[in-house]
Structure 1
Amino acid sequence: MSSKIFCKSWGAEYIAADVVRFRLWATGQQKVMLRLAGKDQEMQASGDGWFTLDVSGVTPGTEYNFVLNDGMVVPDPASRAQKTDVNGPSYVVDPGSYAWRNTGWKGSRWEQAVVYEMHTGTFTPEGTFRAAIAKLPYLAELGVTVIEVMPVAQFGGERGWGYDGVLLYAPHSAYGTPDDFKAFIDAAHGYGLSVVLDIVLNHFGPEGNYLPLLAPAFFHKERMTPWGNGIAYDVDAVRRYIIEAPLYWLTEYHLDGLRFDAIDQIEDSSARHVLVEIAQRIREDITDRPIHLTTEDSRNIISLHPRDQDGNAPLFTAEWNDDFHNAVHVFATGETQAYYHDFADAPEKHLARALAEGFAYQGEISPQTGEPRGVKSTGQPPVAFVD
């Protein structure tokens, strides 16, 4: 694989050698200024809430922000990289500048997956992508075949779990630059290790989320999630932002897959659900290596994980089996609060069923909620579950 560039609908994109097109969807703003290298230029309203400006002579590393009606200065919601944090300036990135070394990498089969979940900030004392490279031989020797990197989209502060990201296209600056993350993935491939990224498309974190100011229509006021108003996946500009993020990470970073966080909170009334469209686009666009797509879903459903007659997964590859995890947790710790209550009566029985059949709850009443949970999973192959 050589360097590939994904052209986003939002943000800063090179359209010629030194010409960058800046695009922002801001239905809540009458006028938007581009602050580029400290100089303000008015962006052109191009219809349907979009603001666009083409600027020549822009070099990689040039800082920029958007200036709103009231003078507030905000980063690019589709920033490829931040100079400091979620509130600081974005900077222009040449996505084709990284020279990939392991261009012959062809990926690995899911049936052989031994997954190691890695938090970049705690994996090494330095807590960076570059520092993590030194520990790749250890993971390979351990028998790991797939590294699942916990969310790296830019979030507030320097350290955190990563599940409150707000700039979905920018790797967290405290961990390193885009090229640093690419170097980690490149090095992992050199050791025969696939890399999967955990991404969050169900909400934005509280700090640095300027989307409600830029475009109130990005969210549905009548649709709530545990984190606030639900994302308006049925609005074209929003849908582009959400669908293009997974494709961008897979294309430009040569990732081998994605883990989609809490998809039970992704509610979409469109004729084709946004998750189905994401999976189909990925399967259509990326064909040079196996792409592993896993989901986290508390509903225990299998509709997004169909198998064809040859056993292949045309949409999502596998589901994180929370029933397995929760049964093990209750058995080992005795904790019975919240969702662990469903496994308090006989954790070993639930564990045995999860291992044998997939889900422990396949339509039975959940003691925690008093409602049925799950569907039959006995027809699914073992590789359809991440235990």
Structure 2
Amino acid sequence: MQFEVWAPQADRVTLECDGAGQALERDPERPGWWVGEAAAQDGSRYGFALDDGPVLPDPRSRRQPDGPDGPSAVVDHSRYAWRSGDWAGRALPGAVLYELHVGTFTREGTFDAAAERLEHLVELGVTHVELMPVCPFPGRHGWGYEGVSLWAVHEPYGGPQGLKRFVDRAHELGLGVVLDVVHNHLGPSGNYLPQFGPYFTDTHHTPWGAAVNLDAPGSDEVRAFLIGSALAWLRDYRIDGLRLDAVHALVDTRALHFLEELSTAVDALAADLGRPLFLIAESDLNDPRLITPRAEGGLGLDAQWNDDFHHALHTALTGESQGYYADFARAPLAAVAKTLTGGYFHDGTYSSFRGRRHGRPLDRSRVAGHRLLGYIQTHDQVGNRAQGDRLSTLLADSPGLLACAATLTLTAPFTPMLFMGEEWAAGTPWQFFTDHTDPELAEAVRRGRRREFAAHGWKEDEVPDPQDAATRDRSCLDWSEPGRDPHARVLDWYRRLIALRREQPDLTDPDLADTKVAYDEQARWLAFRRGDVRVAVNLGTEPAAIPLGSRPARVLAAWEPVRAPGADGLLHLPGQSCAVLLQA
């Protein structure tokens, strides 16, 4: 088979394959590339030696069976026999996503163990599973955001074959699969890309150091490397969409932005495969150009996470006002209302957290609501708390508020996303954990984590040690919880709300401008209209009389028993409760 590698600064490149060495030749058609033929098959171990250096794993390795520091292995994707060969794909409009971390979704922490739980998600009613990153990283357990080998799959999870079995099973059950990919940085350990070429540049800096090279000399090949990796997930593993981590950290000054080039390539692959593919960005910019079609001057991504909706709702529910919550906490229900109708809260307004104006308005006539993901919990918003406490812990004495949070998330004009275990108010935390094999790096991460939260008043022994195996173990879901109260009642509520999204077309209408909101900041109630559907939540402890209009209405779902509004059009809603109604 043919081996190739981009190593523009090398004078000699040697392929080591199954114990035999062979010099590669320069490719006359592609500057900086080295090529050669060698006998190999699925599973063959190999690597490249540059000049007189050690043998290194392939930057485009499809498998790292011994971890990031070991040799690469050949993967013959044609050897896998797909059972769901007739999978036609599942597009984003109308979807309900479920964010899942393979290493803690089950105690076993593997693709196969996670696949055995997928029927739970089918019964819940979600349409897509969003996997947190699965690229290799040192050790066994971690969040996955310090991965390396961007074309390979973490071996302890099950490697390439395990991921294919998971996707296959999901597709058999009618579930789409989204994969979280990280293009803005690589992990500090096991990253050999700088030895091969200018994959990073000091022209720009990021929170992780030198930026990925998207616009400096050599960036053509780096961009092709990242785009090739993205297409490989969609093609070789039959992934349905990608979530792009922190795209605001992708610094690119070229006229053709990397994200526009990526979205063009993904659309072309979708046309070639004959099934829908999509890209979802995590972005801190509140810039609608990100999700505006390319034909209209945008970058052409399909959707983005909407942290503003989370922040507004979180402050309304918990009263927290620290950090970036401060702007939302001044009038939290007004902030919720603004996001429900306009998408962004910061749309050119002053952000005290940033000390400047932030964002720009969405054109609601051009940007559909499904292009924004709405959520009340994510791995970031839970795991980046000092103790990884979920909303179910913060509101442990107020289950009705959890029901209100679910109601707003699942009836808002956005694409809803849940974080694993949220649907039953999981009692387990989800904490920050690592398994660095480098002792110095492990200690630096431990100290850094504790120093970060010490600045906010946390004592050292109150912040879990990320390197302690117990931190990961505490973060695993407890699958006995969904079968008993109070978890079972919350789970039933989530199932009912997701079922309503299927039953009521108004709840998947993408027109943001059609959402009308009313609220009372002091009484702490909020109601909104989507077509003929009315949604009302009472976050206060006292009953509220909420005006819903004169048209007759019937109750579709209610957390506590309520009567339909009478002739006065008032819905009498108990404290910390919610209801969804349909008007005639």
Query: In the alignment, which residue of structure 1 is the partner of 2:241?
Result: 257
Contact 1:358 1:378 in 2 (8 A): no
Match of 1:269 among 253, 278, 301: 253
Match of 1:244 among 228, 243, 260: 228
Q: Which moved more, 1:100-109 or 1:142-151?
A: 100-109
| Residue 338 (structure 2) pairs with residue 357 (structure 1) | no
- Looking at both structures, which has the greater relative contact order when contacts are Cα pairs under 8 Å and sequence separation is at least 6? 1
| Residue 204 (structure 2) pairs with residue 223 (structure 1) | yes
2:60 is paired with a residue whose SS is coil
2:93 is paired with a residue whose SS is helix
Measure the CA separation in 2 of the matches of 1:92 and 1:172.
Answer: 15
User: Greater helix percent: which structure?
Assistant: 2
| Residue 291 (structure 2) pairs with residue 305 (structure 1) | yes
Larger Rg: 2
Query: In the alignment, which residue of structure 2 is the partner of 1:329?
Result: 314
1:60 is paired with a residue whose SS is coil
| Residue 366 (structure 2) pairs with residue 384 (structure 1) | no
| Residue 149 (structure 2) pairs with residue 167 (structure 1) | yes
Q: Structure 1 regions of 5+ residues with no counterpart?
A: 1-18
Match of 2:37 among 42, 48, 54: 54
1:195 is paired with a residue whose SS is strand
Contact 2:67 2:136 in 1 (8 A): yes
What's the CA shift for 1:333? 4.2
| Residue 114 (structure 2) pairs with residue 132 (structure 1) | yes
Change (3 A) 1:341 1:212: farther
Measure the CA separation in 1 of the matches of 2:299 and 2:248.
Answer: 20
Query: In the alignment, which residue of structure 1 is the partner of 2:100?
Result: 118
Q: Which moved more, 1:368-377 or 1:26-35?
A: 26-35
Measure the CA separation in 2 of the matches of 1:314 and 1:32.
Answer: 38
What's the CA shift for 1:377? 1.7
Letter in 2 for 1:323: D
What's the CA shift for 1:361? 0.8
Change (3 A) 1:335 1:284: same
Query: In the alignment, which residue of structure 1 is the partner of 2:471?
Result: none
| Residue 75 (structure 2) pairs with residue 93 (structure 1) | yes
Measure the CA separation in 1 of the matches of 2:27 and 2:186.
Answer: 26
Measure the CA separation in 1 of the matches of 2:209 and 2:138.
Answer: 17
Using structure 1 for the length normalisation, give the TM-score.
0.89
Q: Deviations over 1:272-325 (max 9, x none)?
A: 11110110111112121121211111010111212599x9x9922111001112
Q: Which moved more, 1:232-241 or 1:335-344?
A: 335-344
Letter in 2 for 1:381: A
Change (3 A) 1:376 1:62: same
Letter in 1 for 2:68: V
Using structure 2 for the length normalisation, give the TM-score.
0.60
What's the CA shift for 1:347? 3.0
Match of 1:291 among 268, 277, 280: 277
Letter in 2 for 1:242: L
Q: Deviations over 1:254-281 (max 9, x none)?
A: 1111111111111212221111011011
Q: Deviations over 1:36-77 (max 9, x none)?
A: 11222222233632222211x311101111223343221111
What's the CA shift for 1:341? 3.4
| Residue 178 (structure 2) pairs with residue 196 (structure 1) | yes
Query: In the alignment, which residue of structure 1 is the partner of 2:327?
Result: 342
1:286 is paired with a residue whose SS is helix
What's the CA shift for 1:188? 0.4
Q: Which moved more, 1:173-182 or 1:114-123?
A: 173-182
Contact 2:293 2:301 in 1 (8 A): no
| Residue 20 (structure 2) pairs with residue 39 (structure 1) | yes
Measure the CA separation in 1 of the matches of 2:245 and 2:335.
Answer: 23
Measure the CA separation in 2 of the matches of 1:100 and 1:320.
Answer: 31
Measure the CA separation in 1 of the matches of 2:139 and 2:309.
Answer: 33
Query: In the alignment, which residue of structure 2 is the partner of 1:12?
Result: none
Contact 1:323 1:360 in 2 (8 A): yes
Q: Structure 2 regions of 5+ residues with no counterpart?
A: 375-584
Query: In the alignment, which residue of structure 2 is the partner of 1:3?
Result: none
Measure the CA separation in 2 of the matches of 1:281 and 1:315.
Answer: 11
What's the CA shift for 1:335? 4.1
Measure the CA separation in 2 of the matches of 1:248 and 1:97.
Answer: 16
Q: Deviations over 1:139-189 (max 9, x none)?
A: 100111110011111122211111111110001111112121111111101
| Residue 139 (structure 2) pairs with residue 157 (structure 1) | yes
Match of 1:372 among 335, 338, 357: 357
Measure the CA separation in 1 of the matches of 2:250 and 2:53.
Answer: 33
Measure the CA separation in 2 of the matches of 1:292 and 1:123.
Answer: 24
Measure the CA separation in 2 of the matches of 1:94 and 1:177.
Answer: 13
Q: Which moved more, 1:26-35 or 1:161-170?
A: 26-35
Measure the CA separation in 1 of the matches of 2:144 and 2:299.
Answer: 29
Measure the CA separation in 2 of the matches of 1:73 and 1:307.
Answer: 44
What's the CA shift for 1:378? 4.9
Q: Which moved more, 1:135-144 or 1:225-234?
A: 225-234
- Over the residues paired in the alignment, what is the CA RMSD in angstroms? 2.0
What's the CA shift for 1:33? 1.6
Q: Deviations over 1:104-127 (max 9, x none)?
A: 211223222111001011111111
What's the CA shift for 1:249? 0.6
1:166 is paired with a residue whose SS is coil
Change (3 A) 1:285 1:22: same
Letter in 1 for 2:279: L
Change (3 A) 1:377 1:70: same
Measure the CA separation in 2 of the matches of 1:97 and 1:115.
Answer: 30
Change (3 A) 1:377 1:38: same
Letter in 2 for 1:286: A
Change (3 A) 1:314 1:298: closer
Measure the CA separation in 2 of the matches of 1:319 and 1:27.
Answer: 36
Identity of aligned residues (%): 42
2:339 is paired with a residue whose SS is helix
Query: In the alignment, which residue of structure 2 is the partner of 1:281?
Result: 265
Contact 2:64 2:70 in 1 (8 A): yes
